[in-house]
Amino acid sequence: MEKQTLGVIGGMGPEATAYFYEQVIQHTRAASDQEHLDMVILSCASMPDRTASIQSGDHDAILSCMRGCVRRLEACDARVIAIPCNTSHYYYDTIQSFTQVPIIHMPRETVRACAQDPAVRRIGIMGTDGTVGAGVYARECERLGIEAVNPSPERQADVMSLIYDDVKAGRTPRLDKLERVLGFFEDARCDRIILACTELSVLNRYRTMPEGTVDAMDVLVRESIVRCGGTYQA
């Protein structure tokens, strides 16, 4: 398969997008520059906050921005589009309607990857208030007959603090918050825990995640490489 250009709508947030780029490079089997993927990365840091947009019901600004991003990627001959932001997939169908270029559905592919193990019946979701409250992952779980487990209000506050007070703010994350959330899901007897926010993917730099944790970013990286004709290496 001839390699295709990967288009990325990023900047949500910038550190998560940088981590995504690093992971695509790291997991592409390549012995030279030329064996890596061509990529066009738009760092749209000014994109309206996704959770705030969902909760307010004011979708016009974010969708206008997304439409502009898609058009710019089309102009750069992107043949596959990745959006390393879980919450933005609330708008997936509308964004996909802007273009014929296929957009990878990160939540759908992540739940599908978990469901390959028939023993998986309960999945804990670590995401923003927007992702969790809007059921972005719950819908994908329901499609496959799996129960999505959301954190308690106290533990959801820990998740949001990790995302906004730590990673998005450029601070070293306080891992005690992460431990409380992981403990909650363990007590809830979840078969898998999904890191359903790309800021949470950055926590892999600070802590090895427990067995059974699935990072949606990892799934997006693999899908991006394979769909663009590269060779994925673990």
Q: Which of 202, 77, 218, 17 is nearest to 9 (CA)?
A: 17
At which residue do the structure tokens 């398969």 appear? Answer: 1
Mean pLDDT of the region 177-193: 97
Sign of CA dihedral 193, 196, 198, 203: negative
Res 15: pLDDT? 92
Q: What is the CATH number of domain 107-216?
A: 3.40.50.1860
**What are the pLDDT digits (tens) for 205-226?**
999 999 999 999 999 999 999 9
CA–CA separation, 126 vs 197, rounded Å?
Answer: 7
CA–CA separation, 139 vs 173, rounded Å?
Answer: 29
Total length of the chain: 234
35 has a pLDDT exceeding 80? yes
Mean pLDDT of the region 84-107: 98
1 has a pLDDT exceeding 80? no
What are the start and end residues of each CATH 3.40.50.1860 domain in the chain?
6-105+219-227, 107-216
46 has a pLDDT exceeding 90? yes
Q: Could you give the strand order of the β-sheet that contains 80-82, starting from the edge strand earlier in sequence?
A: 39-43, 6-10, 80-82
**What are the pLDDT digits (tens) for 15-32?**
999 999 999 999 999 999
CA–CA separation, 234 vs 164, rounded Å?
Answer: 30
**Percent of the chain, pLDDT > 70?**
100
Per CATH, the architecture of 6-105+219-227 is what?
3-Layer(aba) Sandwich (3.40)
**Percent of the chain, pLDDT > 90?**
99
